[in-house]
């Protein structure tokens, strides 16, 4: 497997490699990993038709090379023959989809999600479905019915969640880029833990059609890659209004992202960077994360950008508001999994109520049950929805105050997570401690703005990756990706993805 999309495309065009070789290499790695003493467990399964699609792509490439139209072919299908990793909650037609839950065992997707459809039209090949926290509820990919995904840097550590499988697959170079989803940081967090780039776009930029819902007003498809350019190109192909998703939106300059350039020196020196004082509190933050943050801050000032601290007290309420909203919406969304319409069914003939209870009791894991119970409690008659309404009120204020920051500043800078990746099992029995992994990420989802994780160093003790995030105003994906490219140009190798 090559390291970047650009390198891979050049090798495919020249005949140095073939799409079939890329896919078969992934298959061999997958089979070898399954029998390893400590499996990575990034992919749950590889799609059976991936090799066939790769062979078809190779035929197109060979024919175009013989006809002298190879450049035109790749202009029309810029990702032709390039495999990518898909998360297990994004529909890929004809393939199993389970959200890493027993309740969807055996379910086969009847259609493509819009993001999958658009990538396939560009020639990309969905390699397989990746592991995740069950129904995307978690921060470590330990809450999966398929077992945990481990960190490719050190397999004693978690890969982050809930898109930990996709992040691990990309970091281990088993796929060139990956799709994930996030509701409160589930793309940026595993990107940080695995030492790669991970983008959460503006809400609506990528269609949610065909993505299994967790918290509908927060959910967003995200992209994981080795470089900002490996995120920008798939984004340019997937973005835009979708007739099947009323919340979808066009991305200004989205199509120009296929040729990403770093900010010029003059553009960089005109940047104004905001650092929320609320994120300068070091209680609970790893000293190595604090050190990396200060180094990132210095990088901005050394390059001429203006860096200022801003006061946003409302951010202290972001975790509470996020979990009230997300868990309430999750309880509602997951009510459809009842054993009657699709998925697992546990029926001993005692009636629908008993079928419903037993199916859900056996089908859902402990973390999903916990979040459904909390969500239903928040929405119960006792509260009459007041708590959810208060959460939405706080959210509206976060949106207003964050938008006001961007009237003066270009970027909000903060760590992605208070800590680097932790060891498997360290927090799985401590939900509140696990929830605090999202301390720096949830405000982005509540404000519906884009943010990208950039690899920013390693811990001094275990050598695990540390990530920082650049958050921008709504629809500023191009700006933050170009800024991330400046970072990549100056810090190539700072990310510690496994190169083979």
**Residues that are catalytic:** 87, 162, 186
Tell me how far apart the alpha carbons of residues 255 and 259 are, in angstroms, rounded to a whole number: 9
3-state secondary structure string across 162-215: CCHHHHHHHHCCCCCEEEEEECCCCCHHHHHHHCCEEEECCCCCCCCCCECCCC
Token pair of 172 as six digits: 């281990």
Query: Which alpha helices (H) appear in 195-338, and where do they start and end?
Result: 228-238, 265-269, 287-302, 318-333
| Sequence-separated contacts (24+) of 36-41 with Cβ below 8 Å | 38/150, 38/155, 39/150, 40/149, 40/150, 40/152, 40/155, 40/168, 40/172, 41/131, 41/146, 41/147, 41/148, 41/149, 41/150, 41/165, 41/168
Q: Which of 478, 403, 414, 476 is nearest to 446 (CA)?
A: 403
CB atoms within 10 A of CB 331: 20
Tell me how far apart the alpha carbons of residues 395 and 180 are, in angstroms, rounded to a whole number: 24
Q: Which of 329, 340, 312 is nearest to 405 (CA)?
A: 312
Prior bond of 162 cis (ω within 30°): yes
User: Looking at residue 423, what DSSP letter applies?
Assistant: B
Q: Which residues does 466 contact at the CB level (< 8 Å), separation at least 6? A: 192, 286, 288, 289, 292, 415, 420, 455, 456, 457, 458, 459
Radius of gyration of the chain (CA): 22
User: Looking at residue 408, what DSSP letter applies?
Assistant: T
CB 221, CB 214: distance < 8 Å: no
Tell me how far apart the alpha carbons of residues 425 and 436 are, in angstroms, rounded to a whole number: 16
- Tell me the β-bridge partners of 306: 272
């Amino acid at each position: 497997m090559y390291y970047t999309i650009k390198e891979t495309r050049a090798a495919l065009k020249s005949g140095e490699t073939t799409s079939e070789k890329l896919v078969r290499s992934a298959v061999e790695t997958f089979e070898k990993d399954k029998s390893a003493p400590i499996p990575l467990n990034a992919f749950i399964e590889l799609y059976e038709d991936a090799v066939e699609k790769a062979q078809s792509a190779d035929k197109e490439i060979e024919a175009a090379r013989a006809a002298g139209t190879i450049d035109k072919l790749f202009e029309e299908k810029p990702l032709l023959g390039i495999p990518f990793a898909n998360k297990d909650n994004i529909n890929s037609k004809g393939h199993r989809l389970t959200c890493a839950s027993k309740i969807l065992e055996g379910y086969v997707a009847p259609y493509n999600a819009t993001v999958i459809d658009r990538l396939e039209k560009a020639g990309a090949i969905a390699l397989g479905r990746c592991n995740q926290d069950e129904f995307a509820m978690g921060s470590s990919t330990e809450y999966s019915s398929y077992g945990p995904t481990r960190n490719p840097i050190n397999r004693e550590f978690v890969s982050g969640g809930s898109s930990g499988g996709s992040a691990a697959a990309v970091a281990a170079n088993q796929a060139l880029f990956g799709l994930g989803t996030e509701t409160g940081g589930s793309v940026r967090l595993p990107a940080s833990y695995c030492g790669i780039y991970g983008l959460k776009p503006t809400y609506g930029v990528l269609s949610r059609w065909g993505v299994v819902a967790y918290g509908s007003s927060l959910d967003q498809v995200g992209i994981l890659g080795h470089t900002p350019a490996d995120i920008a190109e798939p984004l340019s192909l997937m973005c835009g209004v979708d007739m099947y998703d009323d919340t979808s939106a066009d991305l200004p300059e989205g199509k120009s992202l296929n040729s990403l350039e770093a900010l010029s020196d003059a553009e960089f020196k005109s940047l104004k960077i905001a650092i929320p004082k609320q994120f300068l509190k070091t209680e609970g933050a790893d000293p190595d994360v604090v050190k990396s943050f200060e180094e990132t801050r210095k990088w901005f000032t050394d390059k001429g950008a203006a860096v200022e601290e801003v006061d946003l007290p409302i951010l202290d309420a972001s975790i509470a508001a996020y979990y009230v909203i997300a868990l309430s919406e999750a309880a509602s969304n997951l009510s459809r999994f009842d054993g009657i319409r699709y998925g697992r069914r546990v029926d001993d003939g005692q009636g629908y109520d008993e079928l419903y209870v037993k199916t859900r009791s056996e089908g859902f894991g402990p973390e999903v049950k916990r979040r459904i119970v909390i969500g239903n409690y928040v929405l119960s008659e006792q509260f009459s929805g007041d708590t959810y309404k208060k959460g939405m009120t706080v959210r509206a204020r976060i949106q207003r105050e964050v938008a006001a920051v961007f009237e003066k500043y270009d970027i909000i800078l903060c760590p992605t997570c208070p800590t680097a990746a932790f060891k498997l099992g360290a927090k799985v029995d401590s939900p509140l401690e696990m929830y605090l992994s999202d301390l720096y990420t949830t405000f982005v989802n509540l404000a519906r703005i884009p943010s990208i994780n950039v690899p920013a160093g390693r811990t001094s003790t275990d050598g695990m990756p540390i990530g920082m995030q650049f958050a921008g105003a709504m629809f500023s994906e191009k700006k933050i990706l170009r800024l991330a490219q400046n970072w990549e140009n100056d810090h190539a190798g700072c990310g510690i993805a496994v190169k083979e």
